[in-house]
Structure 1
Amino acid sequence: MPHADTLDVLHHDDTRTRFTDVRYELHRNGIRIWSAEGEHAFTDVLMTQAYLQRESDK
């Protein structure tokens, strides 16, 4: 299950929902997200962007 420091969900009505420090699963009919606030499921997803900050090797 992928992890994201920041996850943006763009909905079909052009609204955005942002989550921080989450686990998520993409499905054919939407996305399911687990965050500190609980479990969320969206079916009106147009696009998602997930960001994961990594330590530099330098």
Structure 2
Amino acid sequence: MPHADTLDIVHHDDTRTRFKDVRYQLHRNGIRIWSAEGEHAITDVLMTQAYRRRSADS
């Protein structure tokens, strides 16, 4: 399951949601996100951008 330091979600109405330090799973009906706040299922997804900082030895 991918990990992101920052995950941005652009919704169909052009609003944006940002999550920090999450694991996520893209699927046909949207995206499922696991964060410190709990589990989120979002179906209104136009685009996602995941960012991960690489460690110094990568």
Overall identity of the aligned pairs, in %: 84
TM-score scaled by length of structure 2: 0.93
Aligned length: 57
Runs of 4 or more, structure 1, over 4 Å off, are none
Aligned to 2:44: 44
RMSD in angstroms over aligned alpha carbons? Answer: 0.8
In structure 2, C-alpha distance between the alignment counterparts of 1:54 and 1:6, rounded to whole Å: 13
CA positional deviation for 1:55: 2.1
Aligned to 2:25: 25
Q: Deviations over 1:10-47 (max 9, x none)?
A: 00010000000000000011000000000001111000
Counterpart of 1:28, as a letter, is R
Counterpart of 1:31, as a letter, is I
